[in-house]
């Protein structure tokens, strides 16, 4: 899997995966309309805020076809960022090249990477409908990486809406 990428954020600023030397990076393929992505959204923002001071980079990527799904347009992304809904960069994968390279399947589809590559892939936690789970699977993977341990649970099933391919 070709991990490295650079995508524009909602202001057009090129943003790369490990551009700042982060010990871990979280890549979340998400969107503006999927009920699963929306249900897990705040939990993912909480992870971005809670782990920022530990050097973890969280990048959220919208790769959906905005022609077929106007709610996923760049303008709609910009409106959500302007409203303060994102605690980390929200990137636009207009060509869908990054989503294809990563094998993204759903919104959300969560990946945790370290210097060795992807060490966790799946859902943020066991139930999009239960905010009390607090992205437990994602947090456990990050805690393992930051402690220098192998990730105990490296894969769960990503759950959500399918990526809307062109």
Write down the domain spans for the chain. Answer: 22-162
Give the CA distances from residue 63 to residues 2, 28, 45, 56, in Å, rounded to whole numbers and listed in that order. 17, 11, 19, 22
Residue 121 near residue 158 (C-beta atoms within 8 A): yes
pLDDT in tens, 99-128: 999 999 999 999 999 988 999 999 999 999
Global pTM exceeds 0.85 = yes
Superfamily for 22-162? Glutaredoxin (3.40.30.10)
pLDDT in tens, 7-50: 999 999 999 987 667 789 999 999 999 999 999 999 999 999 99
Structure-token pair, residue 31: 């969107």
């Amino acid at each position: 899997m070709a991990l490295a990428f650079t995508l524009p954020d909602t202001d057009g600023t090129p943003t790369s995966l490990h551009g700042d030397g982060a010990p871990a990076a979280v890549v979340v393929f998400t969107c503006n309309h999927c009920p699963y992505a929306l249900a897990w959204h705040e939990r993912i923002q909480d992870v971005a805020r809670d782990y920022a001071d530990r050097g973890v980079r969280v990048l959220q990527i919208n790769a959906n076809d905005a022609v077929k799904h106007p709610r996923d347009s760049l303008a709609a992304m910009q409106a959500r960022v302007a409203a303060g809904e994102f605690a980390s960069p929200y990137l636009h994968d207009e060509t869908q090249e990054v989503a294809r390279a990563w094998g993204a399947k759903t919104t959300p589809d969560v990946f945790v990477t370290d210097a060795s590559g992807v060490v966790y892939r799946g859902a943020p936690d066991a139930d999009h409908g239960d905010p009390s789970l607090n992205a437990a699977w994602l947090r456990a993977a990050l805690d393992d990486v930051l402690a220098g341990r192998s990730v105990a649970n490296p894969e769960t099933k990503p759950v959500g809406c399918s990526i809307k391919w062109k």
